[in-house]
Homo-oligomer: A and B are copies of this chain.
Amino acid sequence: MQASARNRFAGTISAVREGAINSEIELTTPGGDVIVAVVTQTSAQRLGLAVGKEAIALIKAPWVMVLTDEGGIKLSARNRMAGTVSRLIKGAVNSDVVIALPGGSAVHAVVTNDAVAELGLKEGVAATALFKASHVILGVSA
């Protein structure tokens, strides 16, 4: 598969919770990270999502928020990955921020330049990527 999504994580489905419209799926990566996705129940059935099945999680870079300090706040977003900024490409409006994770992978986020300035984002700075479960697309072998 060739997809534009900058973030792709492979793992094994470790939990499935079904609702009337949406299902919540947990994917555990080989490194032990847990990614939570909310997909429609129709998709969950069509893809045969079940505990033990291998799957990938795709997340577009603009769907990722960057935090440098959680300072006493708990956020509702289910997915977070902490690392260090390893690359920053600045455009006129947005910047592409890459956060290297301890396990060797990386997360891409597209944030506004205002945010880059306000958070002092640059190579070497500790940062956390945050994204909602409803922003994750899951894939399985056809």
Please give the residue numbers on chain A whose beta carbons come within 8 Å of chain B beta carbons, in ascending order.
Answer: 1-6, 17-24, 36-40, 42-44, 46-47, 49, 56, 58, 60-63, 65-78, 89-96, 108-116, 118-119, 121, 130, 132-135, 137-142
Contact = CB atoms under 8 A, between A and B. Distances in A.
A94 to B, nearest CB: 5
A86 to B, nearest CB: 14
23 contacts: A2-B67, A2-B68, A2-B69, A2-B71, A4-B66, A4-B112, A6-B112, A6-B114, A18-B21, A19-B21, A19-B22, A20-B20, A21-B23, A24-B42, A36-B40, A38-B40, A39-B132, A61-B112, A90-B92, A91-B94, A94-B94, A130-B137, A132-B135
Nearest to A92: B91
Contacts of A134: 38, 132, 134
The 5 closest A-B pairs by CB, nearest first: A91-B92, A19-B21, A91-B93, A19-B20, A4-B115
A21 B40 contact: no
B46 A74 contact: yes
A39 B69 CA distance: 22
B67 A4 contact: yes
Contacts of A130: 3, 137
A82 B58 CA distance: 19
A40 B38 CA distance: 8
Nearest to A48: B74
